[in-house]
Amino acid sequence: MKIIDKTNGNSKEWGYGTVLKCWGRNPKRFSLLKISRAEASDRDSYRLDILRDQSANEDMVWDKKYSDISSLKDDLSKYFDHVMRVKATIIIEYL
């Protein structure tokens, strides 16, 4: 997967499909997370899909479910020093 970082720190809204760039002290060791529905039938639940973790491992899973965006934000602040929304388009293609 090729990562193109088009970070846009101006937007404040988070919701389904939002991609987040998260890191601790070193911005070169970052994770990319996407906010998704926890379950297809539950319209008011959230989870995080790991697109890339800070050690470039693409097999990681975020195993938590959130009832609202504020609890998701609070939890992320426990794990990372910096969390910002990224202007991103995800394209999946067969090579």
On whether residue 74 sits in a domain, the answer given is: yes
On whether residue 92 sits in a domain, the answer given is: no
On whether residue 79 sits in a domain, the answer given is: yes
On whether residue 31 sits in a domain, the answer given is: yes
SS3 content of the chain, % helix, strand, coil (to 5): 10, 35, 55
N-to-C CA span, the chain: 11
H or E segment at 85?
A: strand 82-86
Q: What is the total count of domains within the chain?
A: 1
Q: What is the pTM of this model?
A: 0.77
**For residue 79, what pLDDT band results from cuts at 50, 70 and 90?**
very high
**For residue 37, how many other CB atoms are within 10 A of its CB?**
15
Span 76-94, mean pLDDT? Answer: 84
Residue 6: what pLDDT?
53
Per-residue pLDDT tens for 17-55?
889 999 999 988 899 999 988 776 667 789 998 888 877
Residue 45: what pLDDT?
87
On whether residue 2 sits in a domain, the answer given is: no
On whether residue 93 sits in a domain, the answer given is: no
Q: Which domain holds residue 52?
A: 19-86
Per-residue pLDDT tens for 67-76?
999 999 999 9
On whether residue 75 sits in a domain, the answer given is: yes
